[in-house]
Structure 1
Amino acid sequence: MTDRFPLLHRLAAPVAALALCCVAATAQTGPQHGIAMYGEPALPPDFVSLPYVNPQAPKGGRIVFGEVGGFDSLNPHILKGNAPWGVQSHVFEGLMGRSWDEPFTLYGLLAETVETGPNREWVEFTLRPEARFSDGSPVTVEDVIWSHTILGTEGHPRFHAAWQKVDRLEQTGPRSVRITFNTPDRELPLIMGLRPIFQKAQWDGRDFAASSMTAPVATGPYVIDAAEPGRSLVLRRNPEYWGRDLPFARGQYNLDEIRYEYFADSGVMFEAFKAGEITSFRETDAARWEEGYDFDAVTSGRIVRAEIPHERPTGISGLVFNTRSPVFTDWRVRDALLHAFNYTFIAQTQTGGADPRIPSFFGNSVLAMREGPAEGRVRALLEPFADDLLPGALDGYALPEGDGTARNRKGIRTAMQQLEAAGWTPKDGVMSDANGTPLTFEILLRQGSAQEQAIVNIFAEALERLGIRPEITTIDSAQYVERTNLYDFDMAFYRRALSLSPGNEQILYWGAQGVTEPGSRNWMGMDSPAAEAMIDTMLNARTAEEFTAAVRALDRVLTTGRYVIPLWYSAASRLAYRAELHFPDRLPLYGDWSGFQPDVWWWED
């Protein structure tokens, strides 16, 4: 394995400086080249390129990724269908583009300038005159207004919350559009700057909300070259890309082709990588990373391995409880299953225990809840909700780990106590309620993940000792997306990435509207006034201290809510790739994150 970076390389300094950049927000005066959530953008108006790119990177070559599952749509912005994420990431653009070297800062992309009111009660974007769609037609204010409107009304529900905070959109000049808000929310100008822009003319007479395999006409650096549902997706770099000479684009979008190959399961996908059919593989199995890369392509140097460090939040990955299901409404039942889940033993069997456990939703970052009782401003934010908070939120909480043995006697004993407190008792070897109804639930799995299946099998064996026999259902990717969008499951594997600048997306993840509205990220069905109050405080914070306190308080609400049985995380991404693929020595703050691979990579023999 190559050792291109000392541990955390240069990441610690920017993350530690988060508090310095989150100073009291200053009022923007006049049109600007960029906008930051707090303070000012780090790069000057005349910046040459983003700091983590190679401005001299050559163009050419290709990268081939592997994906498990399939797709049946090319519109990633609606609820219906299952679209490949590569379309959203590489084909579409917003008015602004994000720098992954700052917690949350945007620079002009389709828009040459951005301006806000003194309290960000409105935002105005001025389009670049050279901005073009892939067919050569200009991007107009009409396209921008239509894009925001259609996303807010007929797009995926994840776009609806911000749209409800829009009072009006209006054209203010030949290339300018102003969005006025009806709700105080300092993040809204940035959210609107990231919304994808569509060509209105392409959608004349068509239903935007209907799943479709029609290739979109968009403004991004790549266009769809070929798409075979369930087999492959090929994106081709557009040599006429309108923004190729922008400082923001310099050193990015270097590869001529980005290809995604789809496989039935992860094991077959890894074998395809070993055979050379895939040129880059992101390894999530720590044990295989240590022991499974002794094949010829690695030992001969044709495949290179690298660990890309980061200090972004862990996010959450694990088995989520759907509290819409009556069996999981009582937190004591969820707590019981957290104790029955023999984490230490499972981690040892699956990864050799190489990676640490996710301690909380914002773990591994400056935004994470601190050990022990809540103190200071965090406690002051939570105390008004003390009667509704679960044990541990104010007094301190740590996840049960298990004793490392297959039987996990202590964990099972605690689980039994919690189930009995919730009104469940074993009858003839079956955990039942007072009416004799068995405690059972369905665990929904997506086809293709051998590790998830193995984890659930071990968990099910532990539940058997409690007299609980879950139903394990494995379905294909399309069915999985449909059922989870409708919350038609009791328990499922759940992953949510979180950033160093959490904002309005937290409403989509944890907001009460998602309890009934389909397609939200609130799979657990949580309805927590405390969580929503913390999010509101985050969105209107004017200082680093207030923002950080609100996120740490939210982290306590989420973690102690017992909504997810967390698994493990890695403080570094593990990438194996063809030796002809290269990336810059200078890493962005977020490490291996969106905008890193493949955007700043290049091919060179």
Structure 2
Amino acid sequence: MKHFFLLVLLLGSALPASAGDFSHALAMNGQPRYSADFTHFDYANPDAPKGGTVRLAATGTFDSFNPYIVKGNSADGLGLLFDTLTEQSLDEPFTEYGLLADRIELAKDRSSMSFHLRKEARFHDGSPVTAQDVAFTFKTLLAQGNPHYAQYYADVERVDVVDTQTVTFVFKPQSSQELPLILGQLPVLSEASWQGRDFSASSLDIPMGSGPYRIGEFKAGQRLTFVRDPGYWGRDLPVNTGRHNFDSIIYDYYRDLTVTLEAFKAGEYDFRQEYNSKQWATGYTGPAVEAGLIRTENIPHKLSQGMQAFVFNTRRAIFADPLVRQALNFAFDFEWSNKNLFYGQYVRSTSFFSNSDMAASGLPTEEEMALLEPLELPEKVYTKEFSLPVTDGNGNIRDNLREAADLLRQAGWSVEGGKLVKDGRPFVFEMLLVQPDFERVVLPFQRNLTRLGITMSVRMVDTSQYLERLRGFDFDMIVSSFPQSLSPGNEQRSFWHSASADMPGSRNYCGIKNPAIDKLVDLVIAAPDRDALILRCKALDRALLWGWYVIPHWHATSWRVAYWDKFGRPDKLADYGLDFQSWWVDPDKERELTDRRGRLGSK
């Protein structure tokens, strides 16, 4: 293979008929927005100054610098250490441009793809990044990495090292249309640095990367500093121009989210994304906010919001019946929660592809029916528009609870002495939580369940225990999310496919084992174009919704950010990502902020 490839290049002979053309970029659909001679992304400022320190907050703890394995709690920000083959543009739905690779070739029949690596690409020790490193990384992640890599790369038949700079991935027949772009997201590890070491073991040994930052000082579980590498080999590439501007990025770890907000307002760190509506509505007060030293802002975006929900573990006998899962949906009063807990900031999620054109609505179209009819799914999938229970938000959900009680009776449950029982066993389960601030959402739900005769206990655990229990599916119900990109693909296997239901560490928290859903997942992954992808996602959405695998929550259509007023940022922001790496510390603003904070503190 190697000699044949070199001979073709030397003689200028025609490549095999299935070969494609080398390109600077790869788009999921249509053509890349940026031409081969582009100089920077539009959402980056090529004149952004380098320098300064930014302090960020992380929750929990860390005991590992390997983010690619199941064991341990990996530190935040480790992606800064590792370059990938390509870099995704954040102002296009799904297009990637060369990073470690300067050229990408996708076979015309999509049976394989090749990456040609830049000769100047270097690891932090100065050694070159080679095709052998790419192959090593791929094989290691499959063999010893987090199980989701096996899901992502399931359609890769093999990887071939063609020469020092060229690596080829050969695909299985009818592979995912998204697979070439997923491979572009492969982080590349140094094979030499892992010789004689156990990749699967959690460790605080500093890994060898090739990215824009290196690890500086750290204190295990408490603080970690990333230092910008001034000699970074890729600093002048178009995908990096105007980005990675901070000299150092410090992560301080906090155990409690409430303490984290107070630390921010006290000036302990600089930038924060807010995910809690109550805190966003009421928490950003105090002298620094009132004086304008801290700025708060809603930044609109066009990202698909996927699904956040109370998640049933259908491996538990108590949740095996869809009628029971549907009944419990009637006990959650979103409208009351949005009004009284979330200050009206959210929209109800009624799709696993919320805020996107892939969300199902109304009755199935003829095209959807063509996909759905051959499958064994609930009759309502074909004949009825899906809708969630609704209330008027006043807290009185008597009618909904009546509907829930009727569904539970159909499922064989009855009330005896105020308790819901079946075959002499009470309806008792545990809600497992890791975030204390979610108790305010869970407790009203708990009270409604009590009115049905159901006992739901709430258990709060630390991050380590929570992750361990998730990996082994050791829970009854959790709060979780299923994020969706604008181009869903292989990750759907980890979410919904039977093959992942019993795979420790997968994201199939629901425990779904349904041949019809397996078929729809496979169709989504193999969608030949954008129109087919949208159609197939809608069909999958209907099957998931009518399975009542979750109790849907809510989503927002903007990022809520707060920051101390020391930053500059590009005039144009990306539609599909909050690229904080394109911001910078403005020296004038920082000096003014320091002066104003001093004056404020002296009052």
After TM superposition, the score normalised by the length of structure 2 is 0.91
Distance apart, 1:174 and its partner CA: 2.9
Contact 1:363 1:369 in 2 (8 A): no
Distance apart, 1:532 and its partner CA: 2.8
Q: Does 1:441 align with 2:429?
A: yes
Distance apart, 1:28 and its partner CA: 7.6
Question: Which aligned pairs between 1:394-405 and structure 2 lie closer than 5 A?
Answer: 394-405=383-394
Q: Name the residue aligned to 2:115.
A: 125
Q: Name the residue aligned to 1:267.
A: 258
State the distance in 2 between where 1:300 and 1:412 align: 48
Distance apart, 1:430 and its partner CA: 0.9
Q: Does 1:95 align with 2:81?
A: no
Q: Does 1:107 align with 2:89?
A: no
Q: Could you say what secondary structure the match of 2:389 adopts?
A: coil
State the distance in 2 between where 1:180 and 1:112 align: 19
Q: Does 1:502 align with 2:507?
A: no
Distance apart, 1:392 and its partner CA: 4.5
Q: Does 1:420 align with 2:406?
A: no
Distance apart, 1:99 and its partner CA: 0.7
State the distance in 2 between where 1:456 and 1:291 align: 20
State the distance in 2 between where 1:403 and 1:425 align: 28
Q: Name the residue aligned to 1:589.
A: 575
Contact 1:393 1:560 in 2 (8 A): no
Q: Could you say what secondary structure the match of 2:116 adopts?
A: strand
The amino acid that maps onto 2:359 is A
The amino acid that maps onto 1:191 is I
Distance apart, 1:252 and its partner CA: 0.8
The amino acid that maps onto 2:314 is T
Q: Name the residue aligned to 2:224.
A: 233
Post-superposition Cα deviations, 1:319-348, rounded to whole Å, max 9, x if no partner, equal: 111111111110111111110112222222
Distance apart, 1:393 and its partner CA: 5.9
Post-superposition Cα deviations, 1:165-200, rounded to whole Å, max 9, x if no partner, equal: 222222222311111112322222221111111111
Query: Residues 142, 458 of structure 1: CA spacing in aligned structure 2 closer, same or farther, 3 A cutoff?
Result: same
Contact 2:496 2:521 in 1 (8 A): no
The amino acid that maps onto 1:442 is E
Contact 2:415 2:421 in 1 (8 A): yes
Q: Name the residue aligned to 2:601.
A: none
State the distance in 1 between where 2:234 and 2:332 align: 51
| Bigger Rg, structure 1 or 2 | 2
Distance apart, 1:228 and its partner CA: 2.6
Post-superposition Cα deviations, 1:222-247, rounded to whole Å, max 9, x if no partner, equal: 11113333312221111111100111
Q: Name the residue aligned to 2:470.
A: 484
Q: Name the residue aligned to 1:319.
A: 310
Query: Residues 286, 470 of structure 1: CA spacing in aligned structure 2 closer, same or farther, 3 A cutoff?
Result: closer
Q: Name the residue aligned to 1:475.
A: 461
Post-superposition Cα deviations, 1:133-160, rounded to whole Å, max 9, x if no partner, equal: 1121111121111111101111110111
Q: Name the residue aligned to 2:160.
A: 170
Q: Name the residue aligned to 2:65.
A: 74
Q: Does 1:193 align with 2:184?
A: yes
Give the stretch that moved more between structures: 552-561 or 496-505. Answer: 552-561
Distance apart, 1:390 and its partner CA: 6.3
Q: Name the residue aligned to 1:453.
A: 439
Q: Name the residue aligned to 2:373.
A: 383
State the distance in 1 between where 2:383 and 2:231 align: 57
Question: Which aligned pairs between 1:172-321 and structure 2 lie closer than 5 A?
Answer: 172-185=162-175, 186-321=177-312
Post-superposition Cα deviations, 1:46-80, rounded to whole Å, max 9, x if no partner, equal: 00001211111111112222222112211110111
Post-superposition Cα deviations, 1:378-423, rounded to whole Å, max 9, x if no partner, equal: 22211212x3236346521111133423341011111111111111
Structure 1: any 5+ residue segments left out of the alignment? 1-26
- Which residue, 34, 38, 43 being the options, matches 2:25? 34
The amino acid that maps onto 2:428 is T
Give the stretch that moved more between structures: 340-349 or 140-149. Answer: 340-349
Give the stretch that moved more between structures: 555-564 or 115-124. Answer: 555-564
Query: Residues 283, 390 of structure 1: CA spacing in aligned structure 2 closer, same or farther, 3 A cutoff?
Result: farther
Contact 1:407 1:462 in 2 (8 A): no
Contact 1:65 1:259 in 2 (8 A): yes
Q: Name the residue aligned to 2:6.
A: none
Post-superposition Cα deviations, 1:436-467, rounded to whole Å, max 9, x if no partner, equal: 10111111111xx3331111111111111111
Q: Could you say what secondary structure the match of 1:524 adopts?
A: coil
Q: CA RMSD in A?
A: 1.7
Distance apart, 1:551 and its partner CA: 1.3
Q: Name the residue aligned to 1:600.
A: 582
Query: Residues 208, 503 of structure 1: CA spacing in aligned structure 2 closer, same or farther, 3 A cutoff?
Result: same
Alignment: residue pair count: 569
Contact 1:116 1:124 in 2 (8 A): yes
State the distance in 2 between where 1:454 and 1:268 align: 17
Q: Does 1:354 align with 2:345?
A: yes
The amino acid that maps onto 1:440 is V
Q: Does 1:49 align with 2:40?
A: yes
Contact 1:341 1:402 in 2 (8 A): no
Q: Does 1:571 align with 2:552?
A: no
Post-superposition Cα deviations, 1:566-602, rounded to whole Å, max 9, x if no partner, equal: 222111111010111232221212143xxx12x1111
Contact 1:313 1:361 in 2 (8 A): no
Q: Name the residue aligned to 1:23.
A: none
The amino acid that maps onto 1:129 is K
Q: Could you say what secondary structure the match of 2:54 adopts?
A: strand
Contact 2:152 2:491 in 1 (8 A): no
Q: Name the residue aligned to 2:143.
A: 153
Q: Does 1:373 align with 2:373?
A: no
Contact 1:281 1:575 in 2 (8 A): yes
Q: Could you say what secondary structure the match of 2:51 adopts?
A: coil
Post-superposition Cα deviations, 1:199-220, rounded to whole Å, max 9, x if no partner, equal: 1111111111111111111111
Query: Residues 62, 391 of structure 1: CA spacing in aligned structure 2 closer, same or farther, 3 A cutoff?
Result: farther
- Which residue, 522, 532, 538 being the options, matches 1:536? 522
Post-superposition Cα deviations, 1:499-542, rounded to whole Å, max 9, x if no partner, equal: 11111111112111121001111111112333332332233333
State the distance in 1 between where 2:345 and 2:33 align: 36
Give the stretch that moved more between structures: 511-520 or 550-559. Answer: 550-559
The amino acid that maps onto 1:312 is L
Contact 1:440 1:469 in 2 (8 A): yes
State the distance in 2 between where 1:390 and 1:50 align: 48
The amino acid that maps onto 1:153 is A
Structure 2: any 5+ residue segments left out of the alignment? 1-17, 590-603
Post-superposition Cα deviations, 1:453-484, rounded to whole Å, max 9, x if no partner, equal: 11111111111111111122111000101100
Q: Does 1:345 align with 2:327?
A: no
State the distance in 2 between where 1:326 and 1:492 align: 16
Q: Percent identity?
A: 39
Distance apart, 1:299 and its partner CA: 1.8
The amino acid that maps onto 1:238 is D
After TM superposition, the score normalised by the length of structure 1 is 0.91
Q: Name the residue aligned to 2:449.
A: 463
Q: Does 1:138 align with 2:112?
A: no
